[in-house]
Amino acid sequence: MTTISLVAGNCGRGRGYEDGRFEFRSNLYLGKDFLASDLFNNNPFRRRANGCLSKALKGFENGNGRMFRVIARVKKGKKHDYPWPDNIDLDIKDGHLTYLSHFKPLAEKPKPVTLPFEKPLVDLEKKIIEVCRMADETGLDFTDQIGALENKYQQALKDLYTHLTPIQRLAIARHPNRPTALDHILNITEKWVELHGDRAGYDDPAMVTGIGTMDGKSYMFIGQQKGRNTKENIFRNFAMPTPHGYRKALRMMKYADHHGLPIITFVDTPGAYADLKSEELGQGEAIAHNLRTMFGLKVPIVTVVVGEGGSGGALAIACPNKLFMLENSVLYVASPEACAAILWKSSQAAPKAAEKLRITAQEHYKRKIADGIIPEPLGGAHADPVWTSQQIRLAITQAMDELTKMDTEELLRHRMLKFRSIGGFQEGKPVDPERKRNMKPSDASMLNAADIESDLEKLKKNILEAKVPSDPITDQAIEKLKQDVDNEVTRAFISMGLQEKLESLKLELSRASDNQTLNRNLKVKVDKLMQEFKQNLSRPGAYLGLKQKLEKLSMVSRLIEQKEKGEKLKAEINQKIPSKIKEKLEQLETAQANLSKGDPLEEDLVAEAVKAKKELIEVLKSANLEIVGVAKRKAAAELQEKIVNVKKEIDGEIERVIDVAGLHGKIEELKAEMAIDSSSPKVEKLQAEIKEEIRTALDDTALKQKVENLRREFATSSEEVIDDKVIAENGRW
Asked whether residue 268 falls in the same domain as residue 339, the answer is: yes
Contact by Cβ (8 Å): 724, 612: yes
37: left (phi over 0), alpha (psi -120 to 50) or beta: alpha
DSSP structure string for 205-271: TTEEEEEEEETTEEEEEEEE---SSHHHHHHTGGG---HHHHHHHHHHHHHHHHHT--EEEEEEES-
Asked whether residue 121 falls in the same domain as residue 212, the answer is: no
pLDDT at residue 300 in the model: 96
Quote the CA–CA distance of 498 and 503 in Å, as a whole number: 9
pLDDT at residue 442 in the model: 46
Helices (H), 497-602: 499-511, 516-537, 544-576, 579-597
Which of 371, 386, 404 represents a domain boundary (last residue)?
404
Which of 130, 161, 192 represents a domain boundary (last residue)?
161
Helices (H), 10-55: 36-40
Which of 346, 373, 404 represents a domain boundary (last residue)?
404
Contact by Cβ (8 Å): 187, 386: yes
Phi/psi of residue 217, nearest 5 degrees: -105, 140
| 17-61 pLDDT tens trace | 444 444 444 443 343 343 444 434 444 434 444 444 444 444 444
Asked whether residue 135 falls in the same domain as residue 276, the answer is: no
Q: Is residue 467 part of a domain?
A: no
Q: Is residue 724 part of a domain?
A: no
Residues in the chain predicted with pLDDT less than 50, given as ranges, are 1-62, 75-80, 439-449, 468, 631-635, 718-733
**pTM > 0.85: yes or no:** no
pLDDT at residue 535 in the model: 81
Q: Is residue 498 part of a domain?
A: no
Asked whether residue 305 falls in the same domain as residue 361, the answer is: yes
SS3 53: strand
435 Cβ neighbours under 8 A, 6+ residues apart: 660, 699
The total number of structural domains that make up the chain: 3
Contact by Cβ (8 Å): 106, 54: no
Q: Is residue 356 part of a domain?
A: yes
- Residue 431 is which amino acid? V
Q: Is residue 598 part of a domain?
A: no
Contact by Cβ (8 Å): 175, 113: yes
Asked whether residue 145 falls in the same domain as residue 212, the answer is: no
Asked whether residue 146 falls in the same domain as residue 227, the answer is: no
Q: Is residue 601 part of a domain?
A: no
497 Cβ neighbours under 8 A, 6+ residues apart: none
Asked whether residue 203 falls in the same domain as residue 130, the answer is: no
Asked whether residue 320 falls in the same domain as residue 369, the answer is: yes
Q: Is residue 17 part of a domain?
A: no
Asked whether residue 155 falls in the same domain as residue 209, the answer is: no
Q: Is residue 338 part of a domain?
A: yes
Give the total residue count for the chain: 733
pLDDT at residue 53 in the model: 42
- Residue 403 is which amino acid? L
SS3 94: coil
Asked whether residue 122 falls in the same domain as residue 192, the answer is: no
Quote the CA–CA distance of 484 and 181 in Å, as a whole number: 47
Asked whether residue 149 falls in the same domain as residue 201, the answer is: no
Cβ burial 635-667 (10 Å sphere, 16+ → b, else e): eeeebeeeeeeeeeeeeebbebbbeebebeebe
Quote the CA–CA distance of 139 and 523 in Å, as a whole number: 72
Asked whether residue 200 falls in the same domain as residue 269, the answer is: yes
| Angle in degrees, 0-180, between the axes of helices 516-537 and 499-511, rounded to the nearest 10 | 160
**Range(s) of the domain holding residue 136:** 116-161
CATH number at residue 350: 3.90.226.10
Phi/psi of residue 22, nearest 5 degrees: -120, 130
